[in-house]
Structure 1
Amino acid sequence: MIEIKGITKTYHTGGESLTALNKIDLRIEKGEFTSIMGPSGSGKSTMMNILGLLDRFDAGTYFLNGQNVSNLTDNESALVRNKEIGFIFQSFNLMPRMTILENVELPMVYANVSKKERRERALKALDRVGLSDRVKHRPNEISGGQKQRVAIARAIVNEPSVLMADEPTGNLDSKTTLEIMRIFQEINAEGTTVVMVTHEPEVAEYTKRVVLFKDGEIQDDRNQTQKTI
């Protein structure tokens, strides 16, 4: 599903250079549930941005679902993102003036899906995360955990090859965190590849594999017995 070789990323600020990623090799197979961990400044967020085609890299190659995406234009990257990747962020990134249903429909607008099909697929995705009774609400009318479930519904509505989550439980209490991780496990069990950045070891326990970053390099990469909910 994901194969990167020799990925290097250097930031240049104020006359200084900072290597965020140093010749990273990483392969993630279809159907895996992988957590990316590491302290602040370790390179894990840069890695996620590159995997999600949100940031460019200086050297190396990146294959996503069999396609070389190393040198795409911005428009080509946007098309691949919309087709192949579902994103979930710590801050939810919902549109405040839109209803929950309209938020979930949004990726399909960019994919030129018909209005009727958009509605059907959005309702199905919201039902999938247990929010079919909240479709007319707006984001400020629901809880943080419900907002994250809306974000998950929006991320899966285009049936992406891989789901990428950046600190998806960072703003949630422990009970709600378990609810979100249970949904991720169910989606993964259905065959979707899931890659998640987290700084919480107790959250990483619910994934099948942990990749640990430090100082822009992979320090550890191990499979583990997944804790189930």
Structure 2
Amino acid sequence: MVLKLVDVYKYIGGDVILNRAGLEVGEGEIIVVKGRSGVGKTTLAKIASLLVKPDRGSVYFMGRDVTSINDHERSLIRLSKIGYIDQEYRLLPRLRVYENIELPLALLGYPREARWKIIMKVMELLEIKGLENRFPHELSGGQRQRVAIARALVKKPALIVADEPFSNLDEYSAERVLGVFKEMAKDGTAILITTTEMEAEYGATRYYVLKGGRLYVD
């Protein structure tokens, strides 16, 4: 099991955002969490990505209890094993597209020539090749979304957590990205997707609905 959340609670400003939430994501699985805006999907995604700690409950990553590990250990796991796709992109404005996508590979010590080949392949898959020298402010919302997705995919993580990854994409681009996710799942990558599309059918392994802080199998 790549990711396992057990009886996770999270409180924000006195409100219960997650209430005994639990889910599992195994190798090669695509798990989709549906929910209306503001129900806690982003909080759940950040806990799954080790960006936020739960107030109660346990988080297991690749069989290890990582609930209480220190921030340095969490950052190392995120860098090498987890690809988090933020719905707000989080691109660095002073870096060009290529440099934004390259960043995790550079931090992991990949040789420059290897980086180039990996990045060009992912950019081609996401149909953003030709944008490598642009800055984020020169891109459309959909292009920024695909750059953020490319940055998460280049290091071939064990787990991809995608927080509403299709929200700024047209239908064609969304299908393209979903196709890339499915191919990665075939290679063993575990994928967790959140969405506000309650009727979404992504060909996933399992669907959950987040309501009242709890996860229900859909």
Name the TM-score, length of structure 2 as normaliser. Answer: 0.88
Larger radius of gyration, structure 1 or 2? 1
Shift of the 188–143 alpha-carbon distance from structure 1 to 2, 3 Å rule, reads farther
In structure 1, the partner of 2:23 is 26
| Contact 2:158–2:190 (8 Å) recurs in 1 | yes
Q: Secondary structure at the match of 1:19?
A: strand
Higher relative contact order (CA 8 A, sep 6+): 2
Q: Give 1:215 deviation, angstroms.
A: 0.8
How big is the shift at 1:138?
A: 2.6
Residue of structure 1 equivalent to 2:141 = 144
Contact 1:204–1:210 (8 Å) recurs in 2? no
Query: Is 1:88 the equivalent of 2:81?
Result: no
Looking at structure 1, the residues matched to 172 and 47 of structure 2 have their Cα atoms a distance apart, in angstroms, of 31
Aligned equivalent of 1:201, options 195, 198, 207: 198
Higher mean Cα deviation, 30-39 or 200-209? 200-209
Please say if residues 35 and 204 of structure 1, whose CA atoms lie closer than 8 Å, have aligned partners that are also in contact: no
CA RMSD after TM alignment: 2.0
* CA apart distance, 1:166: 0.6
User: Size of the alignment, in residue pairs?
Assistant: 217
Query: Which stretch shifts more, 195-204 or 73-82?
Result: 195-204
Give the alignment of 1:8-27 within 5 angstroms.
Answer: 8-11=9-12, 13=13, 17-27=14-24
User: Using the alignment, how far apart are the partners of 1:176 and 1:120 within structure 2?
Assistant: 22
**Identity among equivalent pairs (%):** 32
Judged with a 3 Å threshold, the aligned counterparts in structure 2 of structure 1 residues 185 and 48 are, in CA distance, closer, same or farther, namely same
Unaligned runs of at least 5 residues, structure 2 = none
Q: Which amino acid aligns with 2:158?
A: S
Change (3 A) 1:22 1:210: same
Structure 1 residue 55: deviation in Å?
0.8
Counterpart AA for 2:73: E
Helix, strand or coil: the match of 1:42? coil
CA distance in 2, matches of 1:65, 1:29: 9
Q: Alpha-carbon deviation of 1:204?
A: 4.3
